[in-house]
Amino acid sequence: MLSTSLEIVPVEGPAMTRRFLAIPDAVYADDVNWRPQLSFERAAHLNPAKNPGAAALENRQLFLAVHDGQDVGRIGAFINPAHNTHYNTNDGFFGFFDCVAETQLGQSLLEAAEKWLRGRGVNKMIGPAQWSTNEECGLLIDGFDTPPVVMMPHGKPAYQVMIEGQGFQKATDMFAYQAELAAGYPRAKITQAMCKSADRNKDIVIRPMRPTKFMDDVHIVMDIFNDAWSENWGYIPFSDEHIVHMAKEIKPIMFKEGLWVGEYKGEAIAYIWMIPDLNEAIRDLSGSILPFGWAKLLWRLKVSGVKQARIPLMGLRKAYHNTRTGLSIVAKLGETVFEAGRQKGFTHCELSWILEDNPGMIAICEQASAKSYKTYRMYEKNL
């Protein structure tokens, strides 16, 4: 048990922010599946001057847990105006939740975040998330025996006990599927039929990203996303500023054949986006690319490659859901990007995250012989 010297203190200033950022590496130091994040990228994520997701928040507060002079945990509390405007609610969020596996400590952190949100008149507390559901979100509740892939969270089994012990209820679960890119062939007859249908239809075009029109293609993809995902749990539209920021963040690690767009009669109606798993590439860099980490990173991403990939984004305009045209394009996009991944040297690809109440996407994953191997949970609590 922790002694009475436990303090939960608000983070103020650069020095305390650096301590806040250092918590995960300390908490997961003995976890072989932890992947230290790049320090400069995590610092930029918190910085409103460098991250429009952070800049859009009117109210936020980070907290540190200190026990006997040692930093042992952290949490963030914030209000996302875009979420409240979209849903016409008065919700608040918690996130950045990491601590040593001590129930009293975790609950003290959650109480501090809850108290801060109550003081601002919030009606419901949702989390965990890092600024929004468009960024890292969800509590890992199953699948601790494998490393997290790029832009996905890690955690400890004790966190679920801490959160549920504070009266939080499940809001939804999200699944991560893992596919062996060379497995599951020949595909199911329905998948083969849909791909052949796309090949025969002269109105269907499956094309890769246009490097000279990169931002044009990014805006096309996000326009499809904002339509395709608009009825999903937790959806918040991407702002133009967020789209540009995301594109700049992902561009250095993406490859031309990883982004494909499906067009029908000249209209872009679907896309799929595969990226290398940056976490695999930085696994032994201790969160820094200096002095020579940058050389290892470039070598792995551009020369030797990595074996794990992730598909973080995929979408089909709602008007084409459950239509032969839409299903044909989605099937062809999936097989096309899998082949591109194999050519790149990837052996595995995570498809994440998939909402538990999205049977269409679950079916697509299963048809690609992907298996659910991690579960993430979002929680909520009425205040």
pLDDT in tens, 93-109: 999 999 998 888 999 99
The per-residue pLDDT for range 140-150, each reduced to its tens digit, is 999 999 999 98
Pairing of strands 348-355, 308-316: parallel
Would you state the pLDDT for residue 285?
56
Q: Are residues 88 and 236 in the same domain?
A: no
Domain boundary (174, 196, 223) is at 174
Would you state the pLDDT for residue 70?
93
- pLDDT (average), residues 222-238: 90
Q: How many structural domains does the chain have? A: 2
pTM: 0.92
Residue 1 lies in a domain: no
Residue 29 lies in a domain: yes
Would you state the pLDDT for residue 194?
93
Q: Are residues 123 and 261 in the same domain?
A: no
d(CA 5, CA 96): 23
Would you state the pLDDT for residue 296?
62
Q: Give the DSSP H/E element, type plus range, for residue 118.
A: helix 103-118
Domain of 56, CATH number, reads 3.40.630.30
Q: Are residues 150 and 274 in the same domain?
A: no
Helix 103-118 / helix 157-165 crossing angle, nearest 10 deg = 50
Would you state the pLDDT for residue 3?
58
Percent of the chain topping pLDDT 90:
70
Q: Are residues 29 and 123 in the same domain?
A: yes
Q: 167 in the Ramachandran plot: left (φ > 0), alpha (ψ -120 to 50) or beta?
A: left
For the cut 70, the answer to whether the pLDDT of residue 382 exceeds it is yes
The per-residue pLDDT for range 264-285, each reduced to its tens digit, is 999 999 999 999 988 887 676 5
Would you state the pLDDT for residue 289?
57
Residue 375 lies in a domain: yes
Q: Are residues 207 and 313 in the same domain?
A: yes
Would you state the pLDDT for residue 284?
62
Would you state the pLDDT for residue 301?
63
Beta strands (DSSP E) in 204-324 are 204-208, 259-264, 267-276, 308-316
Residue 248 lies in a domain: yes
Mean pLDDT over each residue of the chain, to the nearest integer: 90
d(CA 332, CA 326): 10
The confidence band for 287, taking pLDDT boundaries of 50, 70 and 90, is: low
Domain boundary (174, 197, 231) is at 174
Q: Are residues 169 and 196 in the same domain?
A: no
Measuring CA to CA, which residue among 255, 265, 231 is closest to residue 303?
255
Residue 270 lies in a domain: yes
Q: Are residues 232 and 360 in the same domain?
A: yes
d(CA 67, CA 2): 8
Domain boundary (152, 174, 196) is at 174
Position 84, amino acid:
N
Would you state the pLDDT for residue 185?
92
Q: Are residues 268 and 322 in the same domain?
A: yes
Contacts with 263 (C-beta within 8 Å, 6 or more apart), sequence order? 204, 205, 206, 207, 269
Residue 192 lies in a domain: yes
* Structural domain boundaries enclosing 74: 7-174
d(CA 279, CA 150): 5
For the cut 60, the answer to whether the pLDDT of residue 119 exceeds it is yes
The per-residue pLDDT for range 151-175, each reduced to its tens digit, is 899 999 999 999 999 999 999 999 9
- pLDDT (average), residues 275-301: 65
Would you state the pLDDT for residue 271?
96
The per-residue pLDDT for range 239-260, each reduced to its tens digit, is 888 888 888 877 877 888 999 9
Q: 151 in the Ramachandran plot: left (φ > 0), alpha (ψ -120 to 50) or beta?
A: left
Residue 2 lies in a domain: no
d(CA 55, CA 48): 4
State the CB neighbour count (10 A cutoff) for residue 368: 23
Q: Are residues 42 and 107 in the same domain?
A: yes
Contacts with 356 (C-beta within 8 Å, 6 or more apart), sequence order? 172, 173, 174, 175
Q: Are residues 32 and 161 in the same domain?
A: yes
Q: Are residues 166 and 198 in the same domain?
A: no
For the cut 60, the answer to whether the pLDDT of residue 297 exceeds it is no
Contacts with 291 (C-beta within 8 Å, 6 or more apart), sequence order? none
Query: In the structure encoding, which two tokens stand for residue 350, read together?
Result: 């995570």
The confidence band for 299, taking pLDDT boundaries of 50, 70 and 90, is: low
Residue 168 lies in a domain: yes
Q: Are residues 116 and 209 in the same domain?
A: no
For the cut 70, the answer to whether the pLDDT of residue 303 exceeds it is no
